[in-house]
Amino acid sequence: MGIRFKLILSFLASFALIGAISLHLLQWRLQAEFAALEQTEVQAALSRSMSVADAIPASLLSVTIDWAVWTDMYHYASRPKQLAAWAADNIDEKTALNVDFSLFEILGPQANIIQSVQTGKDGSGFALDAPVRQALVQRYANDAAAPGCFFQHVNGRPALVCAARITPSHGGGSFVGVLAAARVFSEARLHDLQTKTGFPVRLIGAVDIPSAVQWNTLEPIGHLIGMGRYARHTEPDTNVLFLPLRGFTEQSALSLEMRVPRTIQFQSQSLSRYVLMQTLLTSFATVVLLALVVHSLLVKRLRAFHQQLVGMGSSRVWNRRLTVSGSDEIGALAVEVNGLLDVIETQMKELTLQSLTDPLTDLPNRRAFDMRLALEFSRGRREHQMLALLMIDVDCFKRYNDRYGHPQGDVALRTVAQVLNSVSTRALDLAARMGGEEFALMLPASSAEGAAKIASDILNVLADKAVPHADSTVSNVLTVSIGVALLTEGDASPAALVSRADQALYAAKAGGRNRFVVDRGPEPATLQAQD
């Protein structure tokens, strides 16, 4: 890994780390700021909704007090039977509808119903429970009890009930009863409340408030309906507010649920996404720019460097050299690698030569012979050319070594190699040492007569060398036996041709040695050395 690449990686890592930390801190700060703004939004929504909702009991309580502090009402509650005609004219269903009562009841000192008027669809079948009447009478029998309102389930329907002690207009007087007025919170009234607040609202039982909510102290507003606190439950897109409503016994039976959209949260998420997108785009552009620079300066050139090296390795051709542009570190590296390739080329040539040469005689070895034979065999079969093969073995060579020693035996083998080189003068001919005292001579484009002439020359030239061999069973000088085979259509492989030459060699040895046998096909012909 080059220094430039390390620097780029370090820069990218630092950039990513700084960007991540900065983005995290920014998001943390934005979340804190937007959380405060959202809390302000919740307080404003709560204040607005309570102001709207507080007007409902305020209007009902005002009318209730007006009716309760009415001298004629006081007289009627004192003598209901005598003033029944007055009641029929002044506090009938039509009058109650005009002031938006669903129900009003005049209760006597014993919690008895003096007058009960149900109005409209909301008031149909609507009446206060006996325990509620009894409690109201007990409360307002005390002259100090102030008029008030409470929220209560009445006959299974949520309702706002306001009550006041019936007194003369000038005040004073004995306790003659209580005036209770109620409004049912119908769907129409809730829809009207929702329209005024600007977000969905509904009435639920106090027991229906979820347990996993956050309770908060309520500011001293809306005292006519609230209990001094509210609950907040946060959903992904909505703040759900629960406002427990004042009950008759100061215990909440109903709660106002308000679903306030989290507009601030939406803005926060939108801004966070925008910042994140801008950061990612900036990072992407920076990475792309750096990648292009790195690719141009390093990757492209290193890839060419690598491909050239791979090509040399796969083709085993070591005479080529790297060509890399530039005079920087990569260019200097290419120069050094080319120097190493010079060394490799020289060593490979030496190794190749050593792997194909017999070190004792300097003739090609068995490996080189097999490679050349496969080539000449294929050419002969393909182009219908002649090919002669001579297999040569030194006669009684073990006895020679036993008598004269192995060093002298090596000299004798080199002498045979010299003889083979001297008689095979064509560039096409190949003399090889097959191993031990066995040699081979390949004669491409040679007829049987030409091969026989070469075999005879080998026997005669070696005889002229007169290498002493006192323990030979054939002669007093060193001799060889030769098997000659000619390529025929019946030879299916190079091994078949070699086998036939070996068989001819065995025939020459069996015939008395110091001779050659030519395998022309059906029957080998045996010939001795010519004097």
Cα(531)–Cα(56) distance, rounded to whole angstroms? 147
DSSP 424: -
Q: Please give the C-alpha separations between residue 305 and each of 324, 331, 366, in angstroms, as whole numbers.
A: 7, 10, 38
Spatial contact of 484 and 455, defined as CB atoms under 8 Å apart:
yes
Q: Are strands 430-435 and 438-444 parallel, antiparallel or unpaired?
A: antiparallel
Question: What one-letter code names the amino acid at 365?
Answer: N
Task: Point out the catalytic residue in the list 437, 438, 449, 523.
Answer: 437
As a three-state string, the secondary structure of 193-245 is HHHHHCCCEEEEEHHHCCCCCEEEECCCCCCCCECCEEEEEECCCEEEEEEEE
Strand order in the sheet with 515-519: 430-435, 438-444, 387-394, 480-486, 515-519, 525-528
DSSP secondary structure code for residue 147 in this structure: P
DSSP code of residue 146: P
Does 449 qualify as catalytic in the annotation? no
Instruction: Determine contact, residues 29/127, Cβ cutoff 8 Å.
Output: no
What secondary structure does DSSP assign to 83-141, as a single string? THHHHHHHSSHHHHHHTT-SEEEEE-TTS-EEEEEE-HHHHTT----HHHHHHHHHHHT
Q: Dihedrals φ, ψ of 336, to 5°?
A: -65, -40
Q: What is the H or E stretch that residue 381 is in?
A: helix 366-383
Q: Which of 82, 142, 133, 79 is nearest to 110 (CA)?
A: 133
Helices (H), 230-328: 263-294, 300-315
Q: CA 301, CA 295: separation in Å to the nearest integer?
A: 8
Residues acting as catalytic residues: 437
